[in-house]
Amino acid sequence: MIPIRHIILGTAIVLFTSPAFPETPPLTDAQLESAIDAAAARFQRVPSAGACPSFVEVDAGAFTKNIKTMKTMIGPGTKLCLVMKSDAYGHGLENLIAAAVKAGPDYIALVENREIAAATGYMRASGKKVPILRIAPASLDEAVEAVVKGWNVEEMAGSAEQGSLLSSVALRLGRKTGRRVTIPIHVNIDTGMGRMGAATADEVKKIIALPGLRLMGIMTHFAQSDDPTEAGKKRTLEQVRRFEDMVGKLGVGADVIIHTANSAATSKFPWTWKNMVRVGSLIYGDVNADTDPKGLFLPVMASLKSTVAIILRDVPPGTTVGYDSIFRTREGRSSTLAAVRVGYNNGYPKDAFVNGTEVLIGGRRYPAVGKTSMNLLVVDITDGDPSRSVRIGDEVVLMGRQGDEAITMEELASRNKLTSYEMLLRLGKNNRIKVIRQGGAD
């Protein structure tokens, strides 16, 4: 059998001559020159970090619409916290912070100081303000920087020891500056998540009593609310009852915000809402039939796109494709393959072909074949549209809609044994982001 690398040098000879795949007329010299001139003019006019064919589209209009949908769902009596940690779930915090602040939520939840700095910087420049809740325990350096920079972050206290650290930061910086320093906190109670949180009402009372801290909220986090089975509902109800029992022993004032509901609980279990809900995946449209049965929320990461870089025609039967030579082209006929400029460097799964992952070219589905390389994915286009051949430069949609066909984030993730959260972060953090405005937003 002939390894694919041995036939690449012959590609140019057969590029537009394969009887196995009907030809589309190549670009004329005039068309090619026009395309080159247009690209040159574009890059002279607009500063560029470097041309790259692969990118994700983030729909800021859909994000705005999803927030409006969420506010309608919970009504005016429940506060709304928009969770924008991890660079807005991979969508790019800088791409969505303006829309988030304009929507007027009660809180924005972040984790890392670079995110908090960016969000605070935008708010100061725009003259608008939304309180920031750090939704993870701060390190000493993070807590100190937040106070020194005047960000007024409301920190989460996940244990008596961590509460003591925050207290020490407030007291020490107060002595150094000669002014009173108070760190606002939300105490986290562990009701079954098992990763952080006060275990008893006495531990919560110790945290609340620490000097230099001011209680703003009491919270917990659900471990199984996204489970579509009855077991998920039962487990969530158990956690709510444990939380309510502990909060009932604290005697906190009515001004303290009580919050438990994450996205799944917010969409399915109104009895978890309390004073405020914390929503992440819902506002990004990362939903399924269980969390959004009516299809109210739109995907904000609308697509992952790239282009065809190389076409291999008349590939002999049994030719190996990709690293480790695991995949071979079909026997009994020659194949036509397209190399797409995307790879695991872009967060695309390395073993996508094993799980039957497909892409869209010209509104048709084509299977990935061979292991995904760092920068290239090979697709079998042999059974293409007889009236239109695929050619270099054609758009490839790896996630999103093209024509009447669509590959959803849920499909791409589940085929590759990943959660949609993981796939969002992989694609968002490893690709250029192009912001679009669709989604029916005003």
Query: Annotated active-site positions, please?
Result: 85, 323
Query: HEC states along the chain?
Result: CCCHHHCHHHHHHHCCCCCCCCCCCCCCHHHHHHHHHHHHHHHHHCCCCCCCCCEEEEEHHHHHHHHHHHHHHHCCCCEEEEECHHHHHCCCHHHHHHHHHHCCCCEEEECCHHHHHHHHHHHHHHCCCCCEEECCCCCHHHHHHHHHCCCCCEEEECCHHHHHHHHHHHHHHHHHHCCCCCEEEEEEECCCCCCCCECCHHHHHHHHHCCCEEEEEEECCCCCCCCCCHHHHHHHHHHHHHHHHHHHCCCCCCCCEEEEECHHHHHHCHHHCCCEEEECCCCCCCCCCCCCCCCCCCCCEEEEEEEEEEEEEEECCCCEECHHHCEECCCCCCEEEEEECCCHHHCCCCCHHHHCCEEEECCEEEEEECCCCCCCEEEECCCCCCCCCCCCCCEEEEEEEECCEEECHHHHHHHCCCCHHHHHHHHHHCCEEEEECCCCCC
